[in-house]
């Protein structure tokens, strides 16, 4: 009885586990291609990294902008102090620091950047001896207050903070351009992978048909042997064909599983979401219709190329980097110039106005400044060469895409013609099969061959679509 009870419990647990697994699978959300692509644009890891960089630069700009606001600092020094010296006079001399120290005990400073080369600052401080007066009037009376304005009048240059803002804004713009470009690139990649998977599904189905056909042929040979009409050699050949078909089917199934897993990882899909792999979803039909309207006239290559140069993110980034180098060169030249600044203010304690001019000039530096300027010029020249090289490479890339489009159209026409020929052959063989002239294995092999020709047409159509998507993206249309 105990053994039967344990068996019943085990069966119940197995049934419950099966039900839970079934429910988890049945509750998996199914999405189509368009939703999968949109999901990937949002959750793809590479794109998320670029968005993180954008957010980082935006935060840096906010920090720099906050630095332009009024800055107020409070300093109390020291908060407390003890003397380590022994005194025979009184214990009071050995506890707190001497009240004869006339350094500032409390100071409050405020600073505000009016513009990049104009600052206003104020300081209010109290010495330790002045704080012995605990009344409000006494504290105000003993305060030392100074207000001052500083301005650099030559050379007209950017402050360090302005340089940081300029650099950060350019870095931000470069990342935005990169994100815009990469989102379109990833969209094409996702569609390409989807088409590859649907092709693999079709190839796997064909391989399964070939496997089933190989099994039927082996059974037919074994029947012939039993009737005394077959040979051992025929049986060995049929078994080898079956093994090869089985191996091919196994390889394609494993490859299909791997392709799906890699694609889901690219998309960033959670485990409870599955994609419906339809041969031609509405989203794909719409893309094909749009790309069929894309007219690529060879005489307009120059117009296409100019569009590509205007929209390609690498060119945009190249010119942004050049702007940064030009600004760095300008700032480097300013470093070699004498610096003249003026400042003025009012001392409320002694009640007097003051003003002054400052001059700073590195008269001789052993040629360091000249070498720095030459290095900046060389870097700018190298960047210009890099942009020119990139322009030529883009010209070649565009020509390749246009030429590939022409090849893809010819290839599709060839595949369609081959399919049409195979359909005629299929009609002939079908008639012979219906008349009993040929065996069913020949008819089944013909159906498989026809399906292979249809798959070749599908591949040619997909290749044409993907190349045109890449070309449209390249041209910014």
If you ran DSSP here, which 8-state letter would residue 149 be given? E
32 contacts 275 by C-beta, under 8 angstroms: yes
Name the band, by pLDDT with cuts 50, 70 and 90, for residue 45. Answer: very high
- Tens-place pLDDT, residues 166-193: 999 999 999 999 999 999 999 999 999 9
135, part of any domain: yes
Q: Say yes or no to pLDDT of 365 above 90.
A: no
- Tens-place pLDDT, residues 371-380: 988 999 999 9
Q: Say yes or no to pLDDT of 96 above 50.
A: no
Q: Say yes or no to pLDDT of 402 above 60.
A: yes
71, part of any domain: yes
213, part of any domain: no
CA-to-CA distance for 123 and 110, rounded, in angstroms? 6
Pairwise pLDDT comparison (240 vs 14), residue with the higher score: 240
CA-to-CA distance for 275 and 262, rounded, in angstroms? 13
Q: Say yes or no to pLDDT of 410 above 90.
A: yes
291, part of any domain: no
Domain tally, the chain: 1
Calculate mean pLDDT across residues 34-58.
96
Q: What is the average pLDDT value for the chain, to the nearest integer? A: 84
133, part of any domain: yes
272, part of any domain: no
- Tens-place pLDDT, residues 145-166: 888 888 887 777 777 788 888 9
411, part of any domain: no
Q: Say yes or no to pLDDT of 251 above 90.
A: yes
Which pTM was predicted?
Answer: 0.78
Q: Say yes or no to pLDDT of 19 above 90.
A: no
Name the band, by pLDDT with cuts 50, 70 and 90, for residue 242. Answer: very high
Full domain range(s) for residue 145: 63-86+98-115+117-157
104, part of any domain: yes
At 51, list the tokens. 């968005």
């Amino acid at each position: 009885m105990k053994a039967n009870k344990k068996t019943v419990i085990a069966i119940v647990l197995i049934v419950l586990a099966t039900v839970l697994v079934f429910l988890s699978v049945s509750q998996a959300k199914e999405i189509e291609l368009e939703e999968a692509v949109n999901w990937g644009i949002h959750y793809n890891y590479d794109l998320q990294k670029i968005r993180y960089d954008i957010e980082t630069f935006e935060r840096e700009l906010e920090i720099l902008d906050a630095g332009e606001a009024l800055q107020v600092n409070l300093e109390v020094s020291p908060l407390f102090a003890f003397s380590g010296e022994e005194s025979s006079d009184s214990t009071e001399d050995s506890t707190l620091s001497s009240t004869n120290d006339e350094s500032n005990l409390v100071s409050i400073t405020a600073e505000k950047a009016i513009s990049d080369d104009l600052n206003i600052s104020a300081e209010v401080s109290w010495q330790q001896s002045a704080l012995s007066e605990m009344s409000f009037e006494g504290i105000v009376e003993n305060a030392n207050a100074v207000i001052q304005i500083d301005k650099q009048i030559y050379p007209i240059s950017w402050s360090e903070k302005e340089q940081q803002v300029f650099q950060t804004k350019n870095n931000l713009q470069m990342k935005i351009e990169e994100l815009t470009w990469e989102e379109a690139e990833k969209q094409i990649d996702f569609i390409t992978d989807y088409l590859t998977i649907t092709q693999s599904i079709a190839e796997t189905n064909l391989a399964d048909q070939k496997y089933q056909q190989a099994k039927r042929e082996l059974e037919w040979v074994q029947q012939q042997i039993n009737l005394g009409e077959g040979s051992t050699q025929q049986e060995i050949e049929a078994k080898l064909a079956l093994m090869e078909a089985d191996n091919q089917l196994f390889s394609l199934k494993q490859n299909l599983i791997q392709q799906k897993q890699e694609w889901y990882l690219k998309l960033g899909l959670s485990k409870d979401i599955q994609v419906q792999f339809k041969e031609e979803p509405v989203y794909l039909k719409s893309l094909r219709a749009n790309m069929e309207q894309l007219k690529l006239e060879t005489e307009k290559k120059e117009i296409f190329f100019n569009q590509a140069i205007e929209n390609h993110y690498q060119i945009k980034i190249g010119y942004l980097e050049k702007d940064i180098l030009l600004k760095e060169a300008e700032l480097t030249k300013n470093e070699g110039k004498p610096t003249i600044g003026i400042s003025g203010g009012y001392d409320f304690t002694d009640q007097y106005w003051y003003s002054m001019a400052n001059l700073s000039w590195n008269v001789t530096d052993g040629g360091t400044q000249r070498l720095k300027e030459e290095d900046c010029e060389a870097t700018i020249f190298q960047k210009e060469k890099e942009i020119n090289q990139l322009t030529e490479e883009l010209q070649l890339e565009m020509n390749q895409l246009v030429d590939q489009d022409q090849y893809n159209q010819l290839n599709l026409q060839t595949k369609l013609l081959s399919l049409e020929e195979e359909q005629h052959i299929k009609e002939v063989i079908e008639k012979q099969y219906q008349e009993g002239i040929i065996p069913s294995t020949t008819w089944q092999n013909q159906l498989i061959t026809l399906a292979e020709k249809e798959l070749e047409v599908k591949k040619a159509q997909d290749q044409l679509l993907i190349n045109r998507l890449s070309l449209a993206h390249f041209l910014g249309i």
